């Protein structure tokens, strides 16, 4: 799929919720593919539903919170509640968008766990929310599939400020992670993650439903996944 393709999503209307680097990269990639784009930040969750228009073909929900280091033995229940609240927010937005998505058979793309499907130690609340998102995605895939609405989950590995901060604090560990990737590099939020989302939003992916799709350069098949958040709290390299 060419990065300059202006026809892949021509005539489609897309809403991208979550305006971090990955969300912005996805929004720009969908725009480049011809979609009309609206982006909404997560800063005011109560106002999000008001931003949903009557015409909508693609809903991208990039709602997971940043991973915070907290082992299960000492993790505050409030931290888990906060993380799971983002999944509940995704559910509310999906429900609010359902009438519009029904019209032409829509696409829902959830953006999930930044470190793949692995459960990483020291990230109790984040792990809970990441896997709750899988359950939400697959429930929608089953229940809304008969209305020709597809729902999939994208697991990205992208070159973001968060990743670079981990790299600067623990360079040898993170360089080892990058070296073990089959493609030998971390993905670009625009071209790599955004490209995967654009494909899943297109007619070519109309029969892909209920899937976990990796946009991680093969990280999930390359061996043990290192946990950047675990090493950000440490000093040295």
Arithmetic mean of pLDDT over the chain = 85
pLDDT for residue 50: 64
pLDDT for residue 180: 77
Residue 147 gets which letter from DSSP? G
Global pTM value: 0.88
Average pLDDT on 56-68 reads: 90
pLDDT for residue 236: 40
- Winning range, highest mean pLDDT, from 72-76, 148-152, 185-189, 216-220: 148-152
Average pLDDT on 170-181 reads: 75
Measured between alpha carbons, how far is 169 from 164 in angstroms, rounded to an integer?
9
Residues designated as active site: 126
Domain locations in the chain as residue ranges: 13-162+186-221
Measured between alpha carbons, how far is 66 from 86 in angstroms, rounded to an integer?
11
- The pLDDT of residue 59 is above 80: yes
Measured between alpha carbons, how far is 216 from 183 in angstroms, rounded to an integer?
9
- The pLDDT of residue 179 is above 50: yes
3 pLDDT tier (thresholds 50, 70, 90): very low
Task: Tell which wins on pLDDT, 43 or 189.
Answer: 189
pLDDT for residue 53: 65
76 pLDDT tier (thresholds 50, 70, 90): very high
pLDDT for residue 61: 97
Lowest mean per-residue pLDDT among 59-63, 170-174, 225-229: 225-229
Task: Tell which wins on pLDDT, 161 or 188.
Answer: 188
- The pLDDT of residue 122 is above 60: yes
Task: Tell which wins on pLDDT, 222 or 107.
Answer: 107
Q: Which two tokens stand for residue 90?
A: 């995704």
161 pLDDT tier (thresholds 50, 70, 90): confident
H/E run at residue 195: helix 194-201
- The pLDDT of residue 57 is above 80: yes
CATH 3.40.50.720 describes domain 13-162+186-221:
yes
Per residue in 206-233, pLDDT (tens digit) is 999 999 999 988 877 776 555 555 555 4
Average pLDDT on 106-123 reads: 83
Q: Please count the residues of the chain.
A: 237
- The pLDDT of residue 55 is above 60: yes
Measured between alpha carbons, how far is 237 from 235 in angstroms, rounded to an integer?
7
Q: What is each CA distance from 124 to 81, 99, 192, 226, in whole angstroms?
A: 11, 35, 28, 16
pLDDT for residue 223: 62
Measured between alpha carbons, how far is 136 from 14 in angstroms, rounded to an integer?
20
């Amino acid at each position: 799929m060419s990065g300059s393709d202006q026809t892949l999503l021509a005539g489609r209307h897309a809403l991208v919720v979550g305006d971090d680097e990955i969300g912005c990269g996805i929004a720009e990639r969908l725009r480049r593919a011809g979609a009309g784009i609206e982006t909404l930040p997560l800063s005011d969750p109560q106002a999000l539903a008001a931003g949903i228009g009557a015409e909508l073909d693609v809903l991208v929900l990039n709602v997971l919170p940043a991973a915070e280091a907290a082992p299960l033995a000492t993790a505050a229940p409030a931290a888990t509640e906060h993380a799971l609240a983002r999944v509940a927010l995704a559910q509310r937005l999906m429900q609010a968008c359902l009438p519009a998505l029904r019209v032409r058979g829509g696409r829902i793309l959830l953006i999930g766990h930044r470190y793949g499907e692995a459960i990483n130690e020291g990230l109790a609340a984040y792990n809970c929310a990441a896997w709750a998102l899988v359950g939400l995605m697959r429930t929608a895939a089953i229940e809304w599939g008969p209305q020709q609405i597809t729902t999939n989950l994208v697991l990205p590995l992208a070159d973001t400020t968060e990743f670079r901060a981990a790299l600067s604090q623990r360079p040898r560990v993170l360089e080892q992670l990058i070296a073990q990737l089959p493609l030998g590099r971390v993905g670009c939020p625009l071209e790599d993650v955004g490209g995967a989302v654009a494909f899943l939003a297109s007619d070519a992916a109309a029969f892909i439903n209920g899937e976990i799709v990796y946009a991680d350069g093969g990280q999930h098949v390359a061996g043990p996944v290192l946990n950047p958040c675990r090493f950000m709290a440490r000093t040295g390299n």
